[in-house]
Amino acid sequence: MNSPASLAVVPAWFVVLPDTDEAAAVADRALPHAIESHTHASGRPWLMGRWNPGELTVGECRGVRVAVSGEHAVTPEEAARAAAAATDLGSLDRFARSWHGSYHLLVSLHGQVRAQGTVTGVRSLFHSGAHSAHLAADRADVLADLIGAPLDEGRLALQMLSLGVLHPLSARPVWRGVEALPGHDYLVLERDGRAHRKRWWWLPRRDVPLAEGAARLRDELRRAVEIRVRDRDVVTADLGGLDSTAVVCTAVGAGAKVVAYTAATHDPRGDDVHWARRTVEDLSSVDGAAGRVEHHIVPAEDFPLTFDGVNALTDVLDAPSLYAVDRNRRMSLLDLAADRGSTVHLGGFGGDELLAGASARVHDLLLRHPRTAVRHTRGYLAKYRWSRRRATRQLLDRRSYGAWLEQIATDLTGPPPSLEEPLFQWCSPARMPPWATTDAVDAVRALIRQEAVVARPLGPGHGEHRELATMQTVSRFARHLNQMTRQRGILFASPFYDDRVVETGLAVRPEERVTPWRYKPLVVEAMRGVVPEASRTRATKANATLEEEVGLRRHREALLALCEDSRLAELGLIDAQAWRAWCSGPVSAELENVLLHPTVGCEVWLRTREALHRRSDG
């Protein structure tokens, strides 16, 4: 078996092992690359890897060991109390449901192991029984390299789908025999080597009035931010839209010194800079907040465009990423933050899915509150100029999620939905790009149809499912950003993805939280007295469409360079000539690039994996 290449170069990872003799051989392969390790009460290896000081807390009582890894405030004493209270693995649920932050919970209890990540997947867990021992890890590539799992070309082809919100297929690792643990489950590793999943998290009841939910959200967001900023001389943050503004102002209110960055755009209608300046000016006049925000505006001409350097990326990610096209754009701010000496950078990721929500909730309102549903539908049609006929067809569509997936499989090579397509379905229909080969399309279609037989939505209705599925997809961007920033020693924190914050938002009555009549009403109400009044009621959101169109023209050669000696073409997944022709012509950033980005992410990922193994072999 080859050397586990990723373990040698990835700056942060962990592996969880069962309390069995068969796990020893795997532990021997991982241990030379780990900087810390812990054992079961039996003395056998349990947990090993690399992490920054302060990220892992371990408590023990009477042979039970509880570890919490990530962004949290759990002390060794609290972890030890949890270990003392544990009668079986399920008894840890009350701690998993009450501790704040974003973390993995790992438990060794009398020969059994419990391991779990977060609900949204921003902290994911992967597992495999394709070895003599069933193992788990927080990175799919680390686990795959450790057990020698081969690349699954059909699963890789899945990553070429547009949009990438096809639960549960989008989250599936690209290695044969490696699986992703659903965020609502924990993994049990038994003494006899078997493994199974058990559910620990359910959607909250959606009956909390907006005013009460806003007060709860304010408290939960404050706790989430305080975990990140405590005991730090300075933290950095994005300051752009309403969500990142809420995070920055909450951090300032918690007493933190915040260095905030706002990126200007080439779009004259982009107003993030205006509102960021207004926010900082208003904060400076608040008692106790003056002088605690240092604001930097990055001129548009100094900020990389989409596709910048896309043919020369070297990040070692555990999955292909749609973020590859914007990697240099996003990392330029985080590099500034690292140069400033920050070890934590706060972002507003997750706010759109939780706070704006999904218009598809109208689908479910029709049965419970038909008058409200009709009124909201009319509002969405007027706001977005959607087709009344298409909207009606979607709202009357009562197919199960599995039947909807079957239709996606049938329509895989059809045109992508137009910008005028209503958003009342389970999710926006995914499509394969026109340069995908017949073999790639057939493989993806077979995988979707196989899943359609057993698939269940993430919630009882279209809206709940769509929100959670989108959270799980977009949270992977935050995961990948953290994998990129680890080399610089900085953590990219997304408080809106914390389990407690997500639960608080989803508990609010959907007809009050998600409405065409108000922009993100939950956070607007929650931030009274926290965000300056003018910024709190802002109802605009900038986008980077112009940056992408300009970037495609300016960096077309970098994009075309990926078409040469394409690794995807070598695997028989794309027609390189057809891809090159597409990249050479005019492309609509708003519509057609949803087909382009996933392929770029897959091609970049294959090249970086290839380079990684060359370095390892050398």
Number of CB atoms found within 10 A of residue 277's CB:
14
Model confidence pLDDT, tens digit, residues 514-553: 999 999 999 999 999 999 999 999 877 777 778 888 888 8
pLDDT for 592 beyond 60: yes
Say if 204 falls within a structural domain: no
CB-count exposure of residue 503 (10 Å: 0-12, 13-18, 19+):
middle
Q: Do 554 and 533 share a structural domain?
A: no
Q: Do 121 and 60 share a structural domain?
A: yes
Helix axis angle for 576-584 and 593-617, nearest 10°, is 120
Which of 31, 74, 23 minimizes the C-alpha distance to 50?
31
Which of 139, 171, 199 is the endpoint of a domain? 199
Q: Do 369 and 332 share a structural domain?
A: no
Question: CATH number, domain at 112?
Answer: 3.60.20.10
Residues paired with residue 197 on neighbouring β-strands, in sequence order: 187
Q: Do 275 and 327 share a structural domain?
A: yes
CA distance 257 to 547: 31
Say if 300 falls within a structural domain: yes
The pLDDT score that the predictor gives to residue 580 is 96
Contact 441, 158 (CB under 8 A): no
Q: Do 312 and 264 share a structural domain?
A: yes
Model confidence pLDDT, tens digit, residues 428-446: 999 999 999 999 999 999 9
pLDDT for 147 beyond 70: yes
Percentage, residues of the chain above pLDDT 70: 97
Range of the domain at 92: 5-199
Q: Do 165 and 85 share a structural domain?
A: yes
Percentage, residues of the chain above pLDDT 90: 85
CA angle 411, 416, 420 (to 5 degrees): 125
Mean pLDDT, rounded, for 17-44? 94
Which of 439, 466, 493 is the endpoint of a domain? 466
The pLDDT score that the predictor gives to residue 181 is 98
Say if 205 falls within a structural domain: no
The answer to whether the peptide bond before residue 415 is cis (omega within 30 degrees of 0) is no
Mean pLDDT, rounded, for 478-495? 94
The pLDDT score that the predictor gives to residue 614 is 79
The pLDDT score that the predictor gives to residue 591 is 59
Contact 363, 463 (CB under 8 A): yes
Identify the sign of the CA torsion 166, 167, 173, 175.
Answer: negative
Side-chain-facing half-sphere of 292: CA atoms under 13 Å: 21
pLDDT for 276 beyond 60: yes
pLDDT for 165 beyond 90: no
Q: Do 70 and 161 share a structural domain?
A: yes
Which of 431, 466, 501 is the endpoint of a domain? 466
Say if 573 falls within a structural domain: yes
Give the pLDDT band of residue 417 (cuts 50, 70, 90): confident
The pLDDT score that the predictor gives to residue 530 is 95
Say if 301 falls within a structural domain: yes
CA distance 240 to 265: 11
Say if 165 falls within a structural domain: yes
Q: Do 94 and 37 share a structural domain?
A: yes
Residues paired with residue 103 on neighbouring β-strands, in sequence order: 70
Q: Do 121 and 186 share a structural domain?
A: yes
The pLDDT mean for the chain works out to 93
Mean pLDDT, rounded, for 325-346? 95
Q: Do 331 and 183 share a structural domain?
A: no
Contact 475, 497 (CB under 8 A): yes
Model confidence pLDDT, tens digit, residues 361-399: 999 899 889 999 999 999 999 999 999 999 999 999 999
The pLDDT score that the predictor gives to residue 206 is 93
pLDDT for 83 beyond 60: yes
The pLDDT score that the predictor gives to residue 288 is 65
Q: Do 151 and 61 share a structural domain?
A: yes
Say if 436 falls within a structural domain: yes
Which of 189, 179, 208 minimizes the C-alpha distance to 45?
189
CA distance 522 to 246: 12
Q: Write out the two tokens for 581.
A: 């022709």
| Whole-structure pTM value | 0.96
* Full DSSP string of 154-196: HHHHHTTSSS---TTGGG--SBTT-EEPPTTEEEEE-TTS-EE
Contact 20, 6 (CB under 8 A): no
Contact 134, 432 (CB under 8 A): no
Q: Do 39 and 152 share a structural domain?
A: yes
How many structural domains comprise the chain?
Answer: 4
CA distance 399 to 322: 30
pLDDT for 416 beyond 90: no
Mean pLDDT, rounded, for 254-280? 92
Say if 367 falls within a structural domain: yes
Give the pLDDT band of residue 130 (cuts 50, 70, 90): confident
